[in-house]
Amino acid sequence: MTHFQPTALAGAHTALVTPFSRDGSSVDLPALEAQILFQASGGITGVVPCGTTGETPTLSDAERRSVIQTTVATANPLGVTVIAGAGSNSTAHAIELQAEAEGFGADASLQVVPYYNKPSQDGLFRHFTAIADAARIPIVLYDVPGRTGVGLSVDTVVRLAAHPRIIAIKVANGSLGFVGDVAQRCDLAILSGDDPLTLPMQSLGAVGAVSVLGNILPSDVAQQVAASNRGDFAAARVIHERVYSLATGLLSLDGNPVPVKAAMAMLGRDSGVVRPPLACASASVRDRLKELLDAVGVHGPAGVHDSAGVSGAVGSR
């Protein structure tokens, strides 16, 4: 039985990128540690390693383990919660990954809707229930039908909310109606999985976010979420409007995490390298990102923009 309550996951969580070496052959663990320190200094509540933004499908088993272990070892002393990605489209494998995350000391796990095999709602209910039955730490459901090909219905979410270890859901389906219905019908902690929609989602009952933008602007994301949670939507809207174009660009200029890694490279925070089948950001995407970063007053070291994520990058174009 978990000691967590749903409100324990309220706040801003950053969906961490996985930093790679310049040739893409290895994970840059010192860069990961530095990024977690940066998140903590910005007031972020928690971090999420090995999710969509972390390019998890391209990590070896050993790399995935090292990312979660390094994240826990770095985040725990800072009081930063770790929600480790541990999902799979095989129920048995997801249970194994869940057990690993528990063993590494993660505070909770992120369990994505099974991808590719497109289960029914009953199949989804059985999948998540089996994982929760075997788990010892809390589970955050992750609904992202654009990636998985199928999504959770509100009825299925309500059924799953009755399980004591399923305490939250990351909503990345673009539906504000879904958020409102879930908030009215059960007590799961709702976390926005779509930065441009975090403010409206919180107005309907969400209590936090799992943010891509947080990789670049952790303090802004943390302050916006906190303002909404205390009912100061006017203050939250000021931040929302300032960062909206950048938040939208990070998710629309190319597939996540290509734009956010390119932007981080411009700021000297990452190599900008992604692994195949992803390709590094094109020159036009980088030009647009520079405009968006300039608009919010975020600048990197001089001369970084022209070379970030290009020279020596696996899969670059």
* 261 assigned to active site: no
Residue from 170, 244, 261, 290 carrying the catalytic annotation? 170
Beta carbons of 271 and 22 less than 8 angstroms apart? yes
- Tell me the three-class secondary structure of 243-297, residue by residue: HHHHHHHHHHCCCCCHHHHHHHHHCCCCCCCCCCCCCCCCHHHHHHHHHHHHHCC
Inter-residue contact 265 to 271 (CB < 8 Å):
yes
Cα Rg, the chain, nearest whole Å: 18
What is the distance between the terminal CA atoms of the chain, rounded to a whole angstrom?
Answer: 49
Sole residue written with tokens 């050993």: 62
Which residue in 142, 244, 261, 290 is the catalytic one? 142
Q: Cα–Cα distances in Å, from 300 out to 18, 84, 92, 269, 290?
A: 20, 29, 44, 9, 10
**Residue 283, class by beta-carbon neighbours within 10 Å (0-12 exposed, 13-18 middle, 19+ buried)?**
exposed
Tokens 């690993």 belong to 100
**Whole-angstrom distance, CA of residue 317 vs CA of residue 315:** 7
**228 vs 254: CA distance, rounded Å:** 29
Residues involved in catalysis: 142, 170
